[in-house]
Amino acid sequence: MFNPEQVKGIIFDYGGTIDSNGMHWAEVIWMAYEAFQIPVSKDVFREAYVFGERTMGKNPLVQPHHNFLDMLHIKADLQIKWLEQEGYLSNEWATIEVKNKIADWCYSYAQKAIDAARPILNELSGQYPLVLVSNFYGNIESVLVDFKLDHLFKSIIESAVVGIRKPDPAIFNLGIKKLNLPAKNIVVIGDSYDKDIIPSTHIGCQTIWLKSTGWSAYKGDETADAIISDFSQIKIFFH
């Protein structure tokens, strides 16, 4: 049971939490594929998505100065090229125009989610110190500047910078150190049950799970101190 009276600091996840209202980014990008009627199955798309993420993880394609739209163009390019090379897309679909449409659609989606989240984050930042703990590509600060979120966080812990990735609890311990508070006085807010809620609970933090469509189906026995289905519901717990 979530106890807001104990909270003296907040750790936020970024991708999938602040920028898509709980929706896994594979699901968001798939919606873009559907919107433009790109002729591949969802299973094939997911293979392309995994290929793109792994490629970006192994190679420094994303640079610190890249904003979110830049990053989306890189993702779309990797996915569409893979789909073409594997024979799932013809030349008429594997075009710059199609890649740009996907990136622009997803950027617009993120912008809407962030515009809704920003006032809540602004309010919370006036009441509590906020720390961001995110699996990201080394450009999170440029992304935050682009979306006018950079002033909200006391500190940013980014996996590509610190060399630790969720679900390793050690990355959350870095956030705890930045807040300089006991774990019991910190709440972690994130969209991933496996990567945010489990490790945070393990080290003694309270948790709020923003539960939406994830990468995998849920088993049904997942628990958190509080579960919400929309970012705006965070306001219920803090006055």
Amino acid identity for residue 186 in this structure: I
What local confidence, expressed as pLDDT, does residue 133 receive? 98
Cα of 155 vs its chain's centroid, Å: 17
Question: CB 39: neighbour CB atoms within 10 A?
Answer: 12
**Tokens matching residue 63:** 């640079």
Question: 4-23+112-236 falls under which CATH superfamily?
Answer: HAD superfamily/HAD-like (3.40.50.1000)
Q: What DSSP string describes 32-43?
A: HHHHTT-S--HH
Reply yes or no on whether the pLDDT at 206 is more than 90: yes
What local confidence, expressed as pLDDT, does residue 151 receive? 96
What local confidence, expressed as pLDDT, does residue 164 receive? 97
- Reported residue count of the chain is 239
Name the 3-class secondary structure at 63.
coil
**Tokens matching residue 143:** 């992304």
- The pLDDT tens digits for 25-73 are 999 999 999 999 999 999 999 999 999 999 999 999 999 999 999 999 9
- The pLDDT tens digits for 217-226 are 899 999 999 9
Confidence of residue 1 (pLDDT cuts 50, 70, 90): confident
CA distance 102 to 134: 24
What local confidence, expressed as pLDDT, does residue 29 receive? 98
Are 102 and 33 contacting, i.e. CB atoms less than 8 angstroms apart?
yes
**CA dihedral of residues 160, 161, 163, 168 (deg, nearest 10):** -80
Q: What percent of the chain has pLDDT over 90?
A: 95
- The pLDDT tens digits for 143-202 are 999 999 999 999 999 999 999 999 999 999 999 999 999 999 999 999 999 999 999 999
Residue recorded with tokens 């420094």: 60
**Tokens matching residue 219:** 């088993």
Reply yes or no on whether the pLDDT at 239 is more than 80: no
Q: Give the pLDDT mean for 139-143.
A: 98
How far CA 64 is from CA of 70, 136, 141, 155, 169, in Å, comes to 11, 11, 8, 17, 25
What's the longest Cα–Cα distance across the chain? 58
What local confidence, expressed as pLDDT, does residue 39 receive? 98
Are 214 and 26 contacting, i.e. CB atoms less than 8 angstroms apart?
no
Is residue 216 classed exposed, middle or buried when 0-12, 13-18 and 19+ CB atoms within 10 A define those classes? exposed
For the chain, give every domain's residue range.
4-23+112-236, 25-109
| Average pLDDT across the chain, whole number | 97
